[in-house]
Protein backbone atom coordinates (compact mmCIF):
# COMPACT_ATOMS: atom_id res chain seq x y z
CA UNK A 1 0.00 0.00 0.00
CA UNK A 2 2.77 2.34 0.96
CA UNK A 3 4.65 1.55 -2.27
CA UNK A 4 1.55 2.19 -4.34
CA UNK A 5 1.02 5.62 -2.87
CA UNK A 6 4.69 6.43 -3.29
CA UNK A 7 4.46 5.47 -6.98
CA UNK A 8 1.36 7.65 -7.48
CA UNK A 9 3.08 10.59 -5.86
CA UNK A 10 6.09 10.10 -8.13
CA UNK A 11 3.88 9.99 -11.22
CA UNK A 12 2.06 13.14 -10.10
CA UNK A 13 5.32 14.91 -9.49
CA UNK A 14 6.61 13.95 -12.92
CA UNK A 15 3.34 15.11 -14.54
CA UNK A 16 3.56 18.44 -12.75
CA UNK A 17 7.14 18.93 -13.79
CA UNK A 18 6.23 18.20 -17.43
CA UNK A 19 3.32 20.68 -17.28
CA UNK A 20 5.58 23.40 -15.95
CA UNK A 21 8.10 22.71 -18.68
CA UNK A 22 5.52 22.89 -21.43
CA UNK A 23 4.14 26.15 -20.03
CA UNK A 24 7.60 27.67 -19.97
CA UNK A 25 8.20 26.62 -23.56
CA UNK A 26 4.91 28.15 -24.63
CA UNK A 27 5.77 31.46 -22.97
CA UNK A 28 9.21 31.51 -24.54
CA UNK A 29 7.79 30.83 -28.03
CA UNK A 30 5.09 33.51 -27.64
CA UNK A 31 7.63 36.06 -26.47
CA UNK A 32 9.92 35.18 -29.35
CA UNK A 33 7.06 35.55 -31.86
CA UNK A 34 6.05 38.93 -30.47
CA UNK A 35 9.64 40.14 -30.55
CA UNK A 36 10.03 38.93 -34.12
CA UNK A 37 6.79 40.66 -35.16
CA UNK A 38 7.85 43.91 -33.52
CA UNK A 39 11.25 43.74 -35.18
CA UNK A 40 9.67 43.08 -38.56
CA UNK A 41 7.26 46.00 -38.11
CA UNK A 42 10.06 48.33 -37.09
CA UNK A 43 12.18 47.35 -40.06
CA UNK A 44 9.28 47.83 -42.47
CA UNK A 45 8.61 51.35 -41.09
CA UNK A 46 12.27 52.31 -41.18
CA UNK A 47 12.84 51.17 -44.77
CA UNK A 48 12.17 53.98 -47.29
CA UNK A 49 9.93 53.31 -50.25
CA UNK A 50 11.74 53.19 -53.56
CA UNK A 51 8.70 54.52 -55.44
CA UNK A 52 8.06 57.57 -53.27
CA UNK A 53 9.29 60.86 -54.89
CA UNK A 54 11.60 63.26 -53.16
CA UNK A 55 9.63 65.53 -50.83
CA UNK A 56 11.87 68.56 -51.34
CA UNK A 57 11.80 69.72 -54.93
CA UNK A 58 14.12 72.53 -55.95
CA UNK A 59 12.18 75.81 -56.58
CA UNK A 60 14.76 76.86 -59.11
CA UNK A 61 13.26 74.69 -61.85
CA UNK A 62 9.82 76.29 -61.51
CA UNK A 63 11.28 79.76 -61.35
CA UNK A 64 13.46 79.23 -64.39
CA UNK A 65 10.49 78.02 -66.43
CA UNK A 66 8.41 81.12 -65.71
CA UNK A 67 8.22 83.49 -68.75
CA UNK A 68 10.23 86.67 -68.64
CA UNK A 69 8.33 89.91 -68.34
CA UNK A 70 7.95 91.84 -71.56
CA UNK A 71 9.05 95.49 -71.54
CA UNK A 72 6.36 98.14 -71.44
CA UNK A 73 5.42 99.50 -74.83
CA UNK A 74 4.30 102.88 -73.47
CA UNK A 75 7.83 104.26 -73.22
CA UNK A 76 8.54 103.58 -76.91
CA UNK A 77 5.12 104.58 -78.23
CA UNK A 78 4.95 108.14 -79.60
CA UNK A 79 2.31 110.44 -78.20
CA UNK A 80 -0.84 110.98 -80.27
CA UNK A 81 0.01 114.65 -80.87
CA UNK A 82 3.50 113.79 -82.17
CA UNK A 83 2.14 111.04 -84.40
CA UNK A 84 -0.61 113.34 -85.66
CA UNK A 85 1.88 116.07 -86.57
CA UNK A 86 4.28 113.69 -88.29
CA UNK A 87 1.52 112.15 -90.42
CA UNK A 88 0.11 115.48 -91.54
CA UNK A 89 -2.84 115.32 -89.14
CA UNK A 90 -4.54 112.14 -90.38
CA UNK A 91 -5.99 111.33 -86.95
CA UNK A 92 -9.75 111.59 -87.55
CA UNK A 93 -10.41 112.30 -83.87
CA UNK A 94 -8.73 115.73 -83.98
CA UNK A 95 -7.88 118.60 -86.31
CA UNK A 96 -5.79 118.22 -89.42
CA UNK A 97 -2.33 119.43 -88.42
CA UNK A 98 0.22 121.17 -90.58
CA UNK A 99 3.03 123.71 -90.52
CA UNK A 100 3.59 127.18 -91.92
CA UNK A 101 4.12 126.94 -95.68
CA UNK A 102 2.30 123.58 -95.89
CA UNK A 103 -1.09 123.10 -97.56
CA UNK A 104 -3.48 121.18 -95.29
CA UNK A 105 -6.60 119.62 -96.80
CA UNK A 106 -9.81 118.28 -95.33
CA UNK A 107 -12.59 116.73 -97.39
CA UNK A 108 -14.14 120.16 -97.95
CA UNK A 109 -11.42 122.82 -97.81
CA UNK A 110 -7.72 123.54 -98.19
CA UNK A 111 -5.83 125.88 -95.84
CA UNK A 112 -2.34 127.31 -96.19
CA UNK A 113 -0.54 129.80 -93.95
CA UNK A 114 2.25 131.09 -96.17
CA UNK A 115 4.14 133.08 -93.53
CA UNK A 116 4.05 134.66 -90.09
CA UNK A 117 5.67 138.11 -89.90
CA UNK A 118 6.69 139.57 -86.55
CA UNK A 119 6.68 143.30 -85.67
CA UNK A 120 4.90 144.61 -88.76
CA UNK A 121 4.23 148.33 -89.29
CA UNK A 122 1.13 150.07 -90.57
CA UNK A 123 1.36 152.06 -93.76
CA UNK A 124 -0.50 154.82 -91.94
CA UNK A 125 1.33 157.05 -89.47
CA UNK A 126 -1.85 157.31 -87.42
CA UNK A 127 -1.99 153.57 -86.65
CA UNK A 128 0.29 152.33 -83.90
CA UNK A 129 0.12 149.36 -81.49
CA UNK A 130 -0.64 149.92 -77.82
CA UNK A 131 2.22 151.02 -75.59
CA UNK A 132 4.72 148.22 -75.06
CA UNK A 133 3.10 145.96 -77.68
CA UNK A 134 3.71 145.15 -81.35
CA UNK A 135 1.88 143.64 -84.30
CA UNK A 136 2.28 140.18 -85.81
CA UNK A 137 0.74 139.33 -89.20
CA UNK A 138 -0.16 136.03 -90.85
CA UNK A 139 -0.83 135.46 -94.55
CA UNK A 140 -3.50 132.80 -95.08
CA UNK A 141 -5.29 131.20 -98.05
CA UNK A 142 -8.48 129.12 -98.09
CA UNK A 143 -9.91 127.07 -100.97
CA UNK A 144 -13.32 125.40 -101.15
CA UNK A 145 -13.01 121.74 -102.25
CA UNK A 146 -16.68 120.81 -101.80
CA UNK A 147 -19.85 121.31 -103.84
CA UNK A 148 -21.43 123.18 -100.93
CA UNK A 149 -20.79 126.86 -100.30
CA UNK A 150 -18.03 127.77 -97.83
CA UNK A 151 -18.30 131.11 -96.04
CA UNK A 152 -14.83 132.13 -94.99
CA UNK A 153 -13.67 135.16 -93.00
CA UNK A 154 -11.36 136.21 -90.16
CA UNK A 155 -13.93 134.79 -87.71
CA UNK A 156 -12.89 131.29 -88.90
CA UNK A 157 -9.31 131.93 -87.75
CA UNK A 158 -8.14 131.78 -84.14
CA UNK A 159 -4.52 132.25 -83.12
CA UNK A 160 -3.03 131.09 -79.83
CA UNK A 161 0.03 132.76 -78.37
CA UNK A 162 2.86 131.20 -76.39
CA UNK A 163 1.10 132.24 -73.16
CA UNK A 164 -2.07 130.42 -74.37
CA UNK A 165 -4.06 133.63 -74.86
CA UNK A 166 -6.05 134.21 -78.06
CA UNK A 167 -6.16 137.86 -79.18
CA UNK A 168 -8.61 139.11 -81.77
CA UNK A 169 -7.34 140.39 -85.09
CA UNK A 170 -6.84 144.15 -85.51
CA UNK A 171 -7.81 146.27 -88.46
CA UNK A 172 -4.40 147.53 -89.48
CA UNK A 173 -3.43 149.10 -92.79
CA UNK A 174 -0.96 146.36 -93.67
CA UNK A 175 -0.76 144.16 -96.75
CA UNK A 176 -4.08 142.91 -98.12
CA UNK A 177 -6.62 142.28 -95.38
CA UNK A 178 -8.50 138.96 -95.53
CA UNK A 179 -12.08 139.74 -96.43
CA UNK A 180 -15.39 138.00 -95.89
CA UNK A 181 -16.90 136.05 -98.76
CA UNK A 182 -18.73 133.01 -100.01
CA UNK A 183 -16.46 130.46 -101.63
CA UNK A 184 -17.87 128.00 -104.14
CA UNK A 185 -16.09 124.89 -105.30
CA UNK A 186 -12.62 125.80 -106.54
CA UNK A 187 -12.74 129.38 -105.21
CA UNK A 188 -9.78 130.68 -103.18
CA UNK A 189 -9.39 133.69 -100.90
CA UNK A 190 -6.05 135.03 -99.65
CA UNK A 191 -5.28 137.83 -97.22
CA UNK A 192 -3.43 139.10 -94.15
CA UNK A 193 -4.57 139.17 -90.53
CA UNK A 194 -2.80 141.27 -87.89
CA UNK A 195 -2.69 140.62 -84.13
CA UNK A 196 -1.41 142.76 -81.28
CA UNK A 197 0.90 140.93 -78.87
CA UNK A 198 3.02 141.69 -75.81
CA UNK A 199 6.85 141.60 -75.83
CA UNK A 200 8.24 138.09 -75.85
CA UNK A 201 4.96 136.57 -77.06
CA UNK A 202 4.74 134.70 -80.35
CA UNK A 203 1.98 132.96 -82.28
CA UNK A 204 2.08 129.27 -81.35
CA UNK A 205 -0.82 127.80 -83.33
CA UNK A 206 -3.37 128.97 -85.89
CA UNK A 207 -6.73 127.17 -85.84
CA UNK A 208 -9.15 127.38 -88.78
CA UNK A 209 -12.71 126.31 -88.01
CA UNK A 210 -15.74 127.87 -89.70
CA UNK A 211 -19.18 127.67 -88.14
CA UNK A 212 -20.39 125.56 -91.05
CA UNK A 213 -19.23 124.39 -94.44
CA UNK A 214 -16.13 122.50 -93.23
CA UNK A 215 -16.00 118.96 -91.87
CA UNK A 216 -12.87 119.20 -89.70
CA UNK A 217 -10.82 122.04 -88.25
CA UNK A 218 -7.25 122.71 -89.33
CA UNK A 219 -4.37 123.53 -86.99
CA UNK A 220 -1.21 125.20 -88.24
CA UNK A 221 1.79 125.00 -85.93
CA UNK A 222 3.66 128.28 -86.10
CA UNK A 223 6.30 127.42 -83.47
Annotate 150-192 with DSSP letters as a single string. EEE-GGGEEEEETTS--PPEE--SSS-B---EEE-TT-EEEEE
pLDDT of residue 103: 97
What is the structure's pLDDT at 71?
43
What is d(CA 91, CA 80) in angstroms, rounded to the nearest whole number?
A: 8
Domain ranges of the chain: 1-30, 81-221
Q: Does domain 81-221 have CATH number 2.60.40.1240?
A: yes
Averaged over successive runs of 10 residues, the pLDDT of the chain (223 residues) comes to: 50 50 43 42 42 44 45 43 46 83 93 96 93 96 93 94 95 93 95 96 94 76 89
Amino acid sequence: MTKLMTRKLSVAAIAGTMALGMSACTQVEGSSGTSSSSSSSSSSEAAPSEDSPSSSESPESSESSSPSEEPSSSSSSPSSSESNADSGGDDSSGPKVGKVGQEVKTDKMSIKVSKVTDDVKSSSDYQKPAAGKHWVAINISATNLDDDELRFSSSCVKVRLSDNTSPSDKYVDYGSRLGYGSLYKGDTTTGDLVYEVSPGQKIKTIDVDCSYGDDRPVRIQAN
